[in-house]
Amino acid sequence: MATPTTEDLFKNIISHSKEYGFIVQSSEIYDGLSAVYDYGQNGAELKKNIRDYWWKSMVQLHDNIVGIDAAIFMHPTTWKASGHVDAFNDPLIDNKDSKKDIVPMFSSKNMLQK
């Protein structure tokens, strides 16, 4: 018997996840969006359990760590003061086949050129 490819395995996982209510294709009744999924009843519960486990193990079990829930939309001065503006670099995608780095399509370099 042939070994399933990574793509076949991924398709089987998605099929199983949809069948058992872990995920549903986003906007499915309107033909959906490619590769965009919403959490179904079981997926939402699983996500919550993973988030709660992570929060407990990374925040609550350490005396020197506190948890916050902050907005990612902040005043530009905040981003500048934190070093995100001056030190930010767009990530490159390492293409293993061609051995070249590829600038992502939605990087700020590409957006500024358009």
Q: Are residues 41 and 54 in the same domain?
A: yes
The pTM score is 0.54
Quick one: 55 and 3 in the same domain? Answer: yes
Name which of 49, 38, 36, 43 is nearest 21 in CA terms: 43
13 and 34: one domain? yes
- Residues 18, 3, single domain; the answer is yes
Q: 11: which residues sit within 8 A by CB, 6+ positions away? A: none
Q: Per the structure, how many domains does the chain have? A: 2
The answer on 57 and 108 residing in a single domain is: no
Give the three-class secondary structure for 71.
Answer: coil
84 and 112 both lie in a single domain: yes
Task: For 47-67, write each residue's pLDDT tens digit.
Answer: 999 999 999 999 999 999 999
Q: What rounded mean pLDDT belongs to the chain?
A: 81
Residue 32 and residue 58 share a domain = yes
**Token pair recorded at residue 76:** 């530009």
DSSP class of residue 114 equals -
Is 38's pLDDT higher than 80? yes
Domain that holds residue 60: 1-66
Residues 54, 85, single domain; the answer is no
Domain identity same for 37 and 84:
no
